[in-house]
């Protein structure tokens, strides 16, 4: 009896129990489909990276003796959707059962569940065997609480899994979180490490993608492609990150600079989110590096918090609030994205660099995403659904389960506080403190009004003035509203006039 097993493009885990030994009665199916390239406009590198990794994964399975049916984007038999292709493949292989791993995105979970329920053959879903937590685990932890807090979740995870503990329930170094030690601007030294990743030539794949009519945006670099193809390459990148960059990651993880695009970040999120790497092995290797004296505790803790804490937490938020989370718009922001989100051509140096880097590399680190691009989007009143679609399309590591809460909840505060306890916005002062962006910028970082005043300043104060009723009682914003109360009415009116002008002329900023 033949069983058809579906492997999605973000389920490239050769260690899954499915693959322990070949079974001639099992056919593994992977498919490149327009359904997945077209639901938002994607960066060219993201499409290439996923397809190339899928093709390499299929080759690995075949080399290990597994039966594989791979549908390429330009295959004449490709119906360009999961259900249509599955119907044909079940019939072609005479399958008497259908299995799939739990999808991480709501739309795919619903689509495959509905499809499986209508099949005339047995069909079931198995776990992806990747995450520390179940989909509903965070919701159960916070059941009955009015406010979720990541820090509480993170401490629970550290305790349960015995990570960075001096004794049960006792964190190494006497504190759970070293975030305050990890907020230094980068002075230029130590130097950014050389890019440790190898290159691939995906020119032929790119031509097939183009000929299939797939639309995309962003810089290509198909002949010098550096994103990993497989687990072996991802493991090598993990080793290189730990030895070359992690020792300095903690100090400079929030730093912003036009002189470097990676600094000391790992670039492992694509490999993690496609499941080439398991989060447990990443955490274990970082913890071991600290125990061996190779990595400061603040750096190890800061990185582990992103994996064991934040990554698992936002997944819990996603599944607790789907469907409909993408429609949240607490501030009723409706403005479309300015055209320079697709070109990086703006006189604001911080945004020109952060967006330009995103377009060039399909990557930006968390502070560029949150406190430069997301900060401006929220202050300017951009439509959070449009911001979400841009983030989902532009970043190599963006899958909806992780990107949507980070964008709608953390970056845009559009969920009204379900994820974050306050809007993460700033004036130019924060960007200047953490970066070298402001030096040489067209705009004056210290001015609030006037043609050359940094747009962040007027937009910042106008945002809090406009949303006083919603945000004024937030205890984390007390200082902001005390400062706003001290502002003379005429000065505030001038700031708000400047903010109105900026929004009206947003294309020319």
* pLDDT digits 0-9 by tens, 230-283: 999 999 999 999 999 999 999 999 999 999 999 999 999 999 999 999 999 999
- Mean pLDDT for the chain overall: 96
pLDDT in tens, 86-135: 999 999 999 999 999 999 999 999 999 999 999 999 999 999 999 999 99
Per-residue pLDDT, 505: 97
Q: Which residues contact 149 (CB under 8 A, 6 or more apart)?
A: 421
DSSP conformation class of 442: S
Per-residue pLDDT, 198: 93
Q: Which of 334, 328, 423, 344 is nearest to 380 (CA)?
A: 334
Q: Which residues contact 387 (CB under 8 A, 6 or more apart)?
A: 337, 374, 377, 407, 411, 412
DSSP string, 12-53: --TTSGGGSS--TTEEEEEE--HHHHHSSPEEHHHHHHHHHH
**339-508: which CATH architecture?**
Orthogonal Bundle (1.10)
Per-residue pLDDT, 181: 79
**CA distance linking residue 319 with residue 324, whole number of Å:** 11
Say if CB 258 and CB 354 are below 8 A apart: no
Categorize the per-residue pLDDT at 40 as very low, low, confident or very high, splitting at 50, 70 and 90.
Answer: very high
- Give yes or no on whether 3-126 and 339-508 have one common fold: no
User: Cα 44–50–56 angle (5° rounding)?
Assistant: 130
Of all residues in the chain, what percent carry a pLDDT higher than 90? 96
Q: Which of 267, 273, 269, 237 is nearest to 12 (CA)?
A: 273
Q: Which of 172-186, 226-240, 371-385, 487-501 has the lowest average pLDDT?
A: 172-186
Q: Could you tell me what percentage of the chain is helix, strand and coil, using 3-state DSSP and rounding each to the nearest 5?
A: 50, 10, 40
In terms of residues, how long is the chain?
509
Statement: residue 343 has pLDDT above 80: yes
**CA distance linking residue 145 with residue 127, whole number of Å:** 28
**CA distance linking residue 84 with residue 142, whole number of Å:** 40
Q: Which residues contact 479 (CB under 8 A, 6 or more apart)?
A: none
Task: Provide the CA 341 distance to its chain's centre, in angstroms.
Answer: 17
Beta-sheet pairing, 170-171 with 165-167: antiparallel
* Side-chain half-sphere exposure of 362, counting CA atoms within 13 A: 29
Helix (H, G, I), strand (E, B) or coil at 367: helix
Q: Which residues contact 246 (CB under 8 A, 6 or more apart)?
A: 264, 266, 286, 289, 295, 299, 300, 303
Domain boundaries, the chain: 3-126, 339-508
Helix (H, G, I), strand (E, B) or coil at 274: coil
Q: Which residues contact 437 (CB under 8 A, 6 or more apart)?
A: 256, 257, 258, 349, 350, 353, 372, 431
**3-126: which CATH architecture?**
3-Layer(aba) Sandwich (3.40)
**CA distance linking residue 353 with residue 348, whole number of Å:** 9
Q: Which residues contact 44 (CB under 8 A, 6 or more apart)?
A: 206, 216, 217, 218, 219, 220, 222, 362
Statement: residue 141 has pLDDT above 90: no
Q: Which of 74, 77, 79 is nearest to 55 (CA)?
A: 74
Helix (H, G, I), strand (E, B) or coil at 125: strand
Statement: residue 222 has pLDDT above 90: no
pLDDT in tens, 443-464: 999 999 999 999 999 999 999 9
State the pTM of this model.
0.96
Q: Which of 491, 489, 483 is nearest to 464 (CA)?
A: 483
Helices and strands, number each (H, E), in the chain = 23, 9
DSSP conformation class of 100: E
User: Cα 284–289–295 angle (5° rounding)?
Assistant: 130
Of all residues in the chain, what percent carry a pLDDT higher than 70? 100
**CA distance linking residue 408 with residue 385, whole number of Å:** 8
Say if CB 127 and CB 102 are below 8 A apart: yes
Statement: residue 144 has pLDDT above 90: no
């Amino acid at each position: 009896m033949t069983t058809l097993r579906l492997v999605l493009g973000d389920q490239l885990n050769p260690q899954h129990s499915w693959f322990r030994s070949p079974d001639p009665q099992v056919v593994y199916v992977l498919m490149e489909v327009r359904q997945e390239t077209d639901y938002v406009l994607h960066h060219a590198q993201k499409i290439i990276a996923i397809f190339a990794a899928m093709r390499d994964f299929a080759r690995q399975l075949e080399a290990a003796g597994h039966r594989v049916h791979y549908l390429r984007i330009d295959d004449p038999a490709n119906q360009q959707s999961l259900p249509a292709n599955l119907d044909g493949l079940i019939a072609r292989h005479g399958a008497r059962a259908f299995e799939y791993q739990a999808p991480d995105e709501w739309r795919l979970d619903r689509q495959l569940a509905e499809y499986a329920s209508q099949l005339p053959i047995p069909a079931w879903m198995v776990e992806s065997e990747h995450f520390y937590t179940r989909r509903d685990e965070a919701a159960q932890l916070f059941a009955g609480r009015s406010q979720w807090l990541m820090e509480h979740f993170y401490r629970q995870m550290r305790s349960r899994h015995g990570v960075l503990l001096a004794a049960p329930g006792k964190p190494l170094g006497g504190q759970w979180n070293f975030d305050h030690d990890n907020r230094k601007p980068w002075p230029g030294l130590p130097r950014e490490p050389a890019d440790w990743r190898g290159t691939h030539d995906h020119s032929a794949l790119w031509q097939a993608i183009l000929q299939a009519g797939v639309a995309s945006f962003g810089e290509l670099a198909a002949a010098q492609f550096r994103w990993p193809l497989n687990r072996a390459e991802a493991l090598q990148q993990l080793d290189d990150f730990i030895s070359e960059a992690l020792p300095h990651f903690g100090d400079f993880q929030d730093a912003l600079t036009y002189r470097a695009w990676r600094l000391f970040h790992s670039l492992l999120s694509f490999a993690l989110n496609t499941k080439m790497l398991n989060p447990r092995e990443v955490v274990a290797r970082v913890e071991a590096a600290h125990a061996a004296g190779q990595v400061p505790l603040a750096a190890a803790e800061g990185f582990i918090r992103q994996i064991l804490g934040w990554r698992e937490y936002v997944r819990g938020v996603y599944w607790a609030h789907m469907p409909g989370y993408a429609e949240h718009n607490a501030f009723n922001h409706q403005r479309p994205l300015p055209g320079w989100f697709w070109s990086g051509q703006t006189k604001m140096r911080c945004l020109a660099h952060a967006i330009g880097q995103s377009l060039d590399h399909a990557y930006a680190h968390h502070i560029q995403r949150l406190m430069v691009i997301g900060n401006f989007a929220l202050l300017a009143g951009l439509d959070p659904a449009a911001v979400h679609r841009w983030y989902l399309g532009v970043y190599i590591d963006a899958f909806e389960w992780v990107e949507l809460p980070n964008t709608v909840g953390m970056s845009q505060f559009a969920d009204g506080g379900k994820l974050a306890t306050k809007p993460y916005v700033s004036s130019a002062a924060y960007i200047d403190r953490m970066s070298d962006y402001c030096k040489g910028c067209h705009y004056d970082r210290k001015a609030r009004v006037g043609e050359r005043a940094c747009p962040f300043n007027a937009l910042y104060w106008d945002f809090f003035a406009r949303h006083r009723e919603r945000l004024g009682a937030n205890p984390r914003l007390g200082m902001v509203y005390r400062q706003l109360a001290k502002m003379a009415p005429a000065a505030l009116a001038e700031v708000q006039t400047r903010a109105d002008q900026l929004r009206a002329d947003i294309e020319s900023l």
